[in-house]
Chain A
Amino acid sequence: MTPEFWVTQTFNGLSYGALLFLLASGLSLIFGVMRVVNLAHGSYFMLGGYVGLSVAWRTGSYVAALIAGAVTLAIVGIAMERLFLRRLPGQTLGQVLMTIGFALIFQDLALLIWGGDPYSIRPPALLSGVVTAGPGRFPVYRIFIVVVAVVVGAALWLALDRTRIGAMIRAAVDDPEMAQGVGIRVPRVSLGVFALGAALAAFGGVVGAGFLGVYPGLDFEILPYAFVVVIVGGLGSLPGAMVGSLLVGLLDNFGKALFPELSYFTLFAPMALILALKPTGLFGRV
């Protein structure tokens, strides 16, 4: 185990955690406001990647791919929430089965449209290349992911903590009935949060397509990671999603590098331990 190994793996874990944060922060917010366990959240990530791919092919623009992925999936999220999920308030099992139904449909549609081959989005020249510093070699694209996650995290935190809309969202999380009572349109807040969560996941999907690629089955492969992040961090908590993402990113990377055959075990066993000590996750309040 050379110093290079530790530096590289730590950095890889950090950047994977940053990607997971883009995915999981939306899932956590959606749960916080609507109490919906969205099993189609991994599908937003995958579809975002695919939409971004098609746009990148047509226009050659990475930025256009990012925007198109996020906007398209925000619309999909709005449609899902308005037309379907809203009919099932408080029915956990019903919501779960319905979001699984959507996940299956999305998976099959993606296969129909984009086929079974894996693709990846080539990042712009500005973001390719490798920076060498000390014992480590750091791909610029992964540095970019970390920066993006920090910016998104800071923006989310500022929006939730400092703005009027953020206050409305927090009120809806804490006590939906009371929030409705003081004149906050909770259904509209829910819809907005759902759209934002879907857009964030899709944005993550486009970013992720730059180094994970995008392929059939990515949706159900990435979903458990988002769940572990949210379980470890605590449902509905933004700081929880940040800490959880970092932890999961690092655990997953070191698990894969040190114990390849048991890598999932090294990810889920610490989760079980945290739950045994704190059943609501590190930052959960429920």
Chain B
Amino acid sequence: MSAAVSGGAGRRPIVLGIAALVLAAIIAPLLPSYPLTLLTQVAIMAILAMSLDILLGYTGLASLGHAAYFGTAAYAVGILATERQAGFVTCLVAGIVLATVTAALFGLIAIRATGTYFLMITLALGMVVWGLAFRWVSLTKGDNGIAGVPRPELPLPWSLAAPLPFFYFALLAAALAWAALGTLARSPFGLTLKGVRESETRMRALGYDVWLHKYLAFVISGGFAGFAGVIWAWYNGFVSPVDVQLVTSVETLLMVALGGPGTLAGPALGAAVIVFLKNFVSVYTKRWLLILGAVYIGVILFAPRGVLGALRSSHR
């Protein structure tokens, strides 16, 4: 079944994805500010969801601590930009490097475990980062969070402080991340990851270093989550323990599961659905969590392979 899915992954999602990017770029100037900020959120969350897809969809590892890398990068930007007045390059590099290093450390512990143990260990490791964000008050300002994170100044005619230029910036970042992760997924390395997902023992028998492939996928995935975290800190102007909490990790997992793991474009679509749903529902009711919980259960019962997976199988 999975072989058929990955074989059919061909051109369709790529064409649809490019169409969505172009469409978003064209309609953005026509939109009022609220939908525009939502679209900006979608672009950032799409990066986060795609980064997790490398781990969950391609390598078959379900991480429950993905917000840790997103959050460490966001905190790095928050602290550097407010206390050191760090600029674009410093924040970007520091955020991604810190997230990658965190993933590299956590990976050493987590990759040894499989299945359920992997899930629980990544959850616990994610909680370490949350605990530090929450309790290490002298560095992170604890529960109050870091407010007033400035957006970077770039040598461009437009200031990123305005919503529209920032949207294009986030959209460009999402497109770059998609291109990079897509290239990775189609490379021999990405194909080996799929092999590991399907059968670790067979890949080991073929002479592949399974541990190393899983580990690298884990680290790369964390690095891209950090990329999303950097842009999120600039977008939001505020970093708090909410960015690293368990609910953020599981929401990302839901985005991937909802869109269809192992498709990249699917998780990006999942991110769009969740961001819009969250914002529209919270306009009408405070019971957002109730509805989100129902979405989790509904997705698992009725579309276990995600929206894209369900569409594809009905297409056949």
Co-assembled chains A and B: yes
A residues at B contact (CB < 8 Å): 31, 35, 37, 39, 84, 87-88, 91-94, 96-98, 100-109, 112, 220, 223-224, 227-228, 230-231, 235, 260-265, 267-269, 271-272, 275-276, 279-280
**With A101-B296, A220-B247, A276-B109 given, is the CB distance from A230 to B304 under 8 Å?**
no
User: B130 within 8 Å of A by Cβ?
Assistant: yes
The DSSP consensus for interface residues of chain A is: helix
Q: List chain A residues, Cβ under 8 A from B245.
A: 220
B289 with A108: CB separation less than 8 A: yes
A–B pairs, 27, beta carbons within 8 Å: A84-B297, A88-B300, A92-B115, A92-B116, A92-B119, A93-B62, A93-B257, A96-B64, A97-B250, A101-B296, A103-B293, A104-B290, A105-B293, A108-B288, A108-B290, A109-B290, A224-B127, A227-B120, A231-B120, A235-B117, A262-B135, A262-B136, A264-B131, A271-B124, A275-B109, A276-B108, A276-B109
Q: List chain A residues, Cβ under 8 A from B295.
A: 101
**What 0/1 readout, one digit per residue, does chain B (280-314) give for beta carbons within 8 Å of chain A?**
00000001111011111101110010000000000
A104 with B293: CB separation less than 8 A: yes
On chain B, the number of residues with a Cβ less than 8 Å from chain A's Cβ atoms is 47
A91, A94, A268 — most chain B CB neighbours (10 Å): A268
Q: List chain A residues, Cβ under 8 A from B48.
A: none
User: B132 within 8 Å of A by Cβ?
Assistant: yes
Q: List chain A residues, Cβ under 8 A from B278.
A: none
Which B residue's beta carbon lies closest to that of A280? B117
B108, B116, B304 — most chain A CB neighbours (10 Å): B116
Bound-state Cα–Cα, A228 to B124, Å: 7
Q: List chain B residues, Cβ under 8 A from A88.
A: 300
Q: List chain B residues, Cβ under 8 A from A112.
A: 287
Bound-state Cα–Cα, A268 to B126, Å: 10
B124 touches which one: A101, A220, A231 (CB < 8 A)? A231
Q: List chain B residues, Cβ under 8 A from A97.
A: 250, 253-254, 257, 296, 299-300
**With A96-B119, A265-B128 given, is the CB distance from A108 to B300 under 8 Å?**
no
Bound-state Cα–Cα, A264 to B137, Å: 13
B292 touches which one: A87, A96, A104, A269 (CB < 8 A)? A104
B294 with A268: CB separation less than 8 A: no
A227 with B124: CB separation less than 8 A: yes
User: B112 within 8 Å of A by Cβ?
Assistant: yes
B117 with A279: CB separation less than 8 A: yes
A268 touches which one: B116, B131, B257 (CB < 8 A)? B131
Which A residue's beta carbon lies closest to that of B140? A261
Given A97-B296, A102-B293, A264-B127, 13 more A-B residue pairs with CB atoms under 8 Å apart are A31-B116, A84-B301, A93-B56, A96-B119, A100-B250, A104-B247, A105-B289, A112-B287, A231-B117, A262-B135, A264-B135, A279-B113, A280-B117
